[in-house]
Structure 1
Amino acid sequence: MENTDAKKNPAFLEYVLKLNGDIELTEALKLSLERINEIDIDQLKRIGLKTYEKDKWSIHKILQHLIDWERIWCYRAILFARGEGTIPDGLDQEIMGSNSNADELSIEHLINELRIVRQSTILMFESFNKKILDTNCEFFEYEMPLFAIGFTITAHQIHHFNVLKEKYFPLDK
C-alpha cells in the first residue's frame, strides 16, 4: 500500500505502512496467519502471567486484545463494505483489557481463537471486490480505503508480536 492511498494519513497509518512493507493485502493476511501458527506455545506457557513491568498486560491479555480489536476492525470493515458508514464512537482498550477474563483462559485457547478469527478475516477480505476494497472509510480523525483496515489488523499483530519478542520472551529464563 502506498502513502498516497490515504487522503488523511494519521500517524498510526504511517506505522501500519512501515510494519507491513511492500506487500499485497491477501499476502499480508496469510503471512500473519503463518506467524500465529509459528508461535511457541510452550514458551508462552513457561512465561505464564509474568509481565516485564508492573501494570503491563500478561501475554494472555495481549492475545485477547489482538482478538478483540481484530473483531472490531472487521465490524468496521463490514459497515463500510455494506454502505452503512455509521461507526460507533471510539473504544478504550484499557477498559476492555481490565474487563477481560483472558488470564483465566489457556494460551492454547487464545492462540486457537486468534487463528480462527484471522481465518475468518482472510475470508472476509477475499470476498470483497476491488470497488469495496477501495471504498473510502471516514471515521473519527481517520480516512482511508477499506483495504487499509486489513493492513491495520496485520500491523497490529506485528506490533504486539514484536513486543512479545522484545519484552516478554526474555522472561523465559
Structure 2
Amino acid sequence: MIARPQLNEYPVFASTYVNMVPEGADVMQLLTDSLTETYELFSTLPDEKALFAYAEGKWTVKEVLGHIIDTERVFAFRAFCFSREQITLPGFDQDTYVNNTDYNSRSLQDLAEEFKVTRLSNLYVFRNFTEEQINRNGTASGNYLTVRALIYMTAGHVLHHLQILKERYL
C-alpha cells in the first residue's frame, strides 16, 4: 500500500485532491474503483445531458470529462518523469487546455472510452513503481511534488469532479 503523502510533498492547492482520498484507503484500489465508477457514469449518461453546463461560462459535462482526462495525463506524466529523474516541468493551465480542444464535438461514449484507457495505462505505470521511485520528487508549475503525492492527487482529482458533477450537473 502506498503511504499517504505528507503536507510538505505537495502544494497547498493539491490538498483538495489529496484529502478526497479517505484516511487509510488503498489509493491503488481507489484508482481502480473510480475507473469503473467514472466510466459507468459517463458511458450511461443520456446525450441531452452531455452539453449541459450548470451556469454561464462553466464547462459542459463533456468538457469536464475532457478536463479529467487532461489532468489524469498531466499528473501521471509528472509522476512518471519524477520517478526516473529529479526534473523541473512546466505548468498546466486547465482552462487553456479545455479551450484549445473541442470536446463538445465528440461523443460522450468516446470520451468515456478515452478516460478508461488513460486510467488503465496509468495504473500499469503506478503499480510498477518501486518504493524508491514513489518517494522521488521533482518540480512542476514551480511546486515541489513527490511521485506519491501525484498518485494521490490523480485519485482525488477525479473524485473531486465526480462530486461536483453529482451536485451541480446531474
TM-score scaled by length of structure 1 = 0.87
Query: Aligned-pair RMSD on alpha carbons?
Result: 1.9
Cα distance in 2 for partners of 1:99, 1:147 equals 30
How far the C-alpha of 1:65 sits from its partner, in A, is 0.7
Cα distance in 2 for partners of 1:66, 1:72 equals 10
How far the C-alpha of 1:82 sits from its partner, in A, is 1.0
Q: Which is worse superposed, 113-122 or 92-101? A: 92-101
Change in 2 beyond 3 A, CA 1:104/1:120: same
**Which runs of structure 2 are paired with 1:1-173 in the superposition (5 Å)?**
1-2=3-4, 5-7=6-8, 9-22=10-23, 23-39=25-41, 41-88=43-90, 90-169=91-170
How far the C-alpha of 1:2 sits from its partner, in A, is 4.0
Cα distance in 2 for partners of 1:38, 1:14 equals 27
Q: Which runs of 4+ in 1 moved over 4 A?
A: none
Cα distance in 1 for partners of 2:166, 2:33 equals 17
Change in 2 beyond 3 A, CA 1:9/1:117: closer
- Structure 1 residues 17-54: Cα deviation after superposition (integer angstroms, max 9, x where no partner): 32111212211211221212331534342313121101
- Structure 1 residues 139-168: Cα deviation after superposition (integer angstroms, max 9, x where no partner): 345333211101111111011111110111
Cα distance in 1 for partners of 2:74, 2:119 equals 13
TM-score scaled by length of structure 2 = 0.88
Residue identity (%) = 25
Change in 2 beyond 3 A, CA 1:25/1:42: closer
SS at 1:41's partner residue? helix
How far the C-alpha of 1:9 sits from its partner, in A, is 4.8
**Equivalent pair of 1:8/1:142 in contact (CA under 8 Å):** no
**Equivalent pair of 1:6/1:143 in contact (CA under 8 Å):** no
Number of residue pairs matched by the alignment: 167
Cα distance in 1 for partners of 2:39, 2:9 equals 34
How far the C-alpha of 1:98 sits from its partner, in A, is 1.1
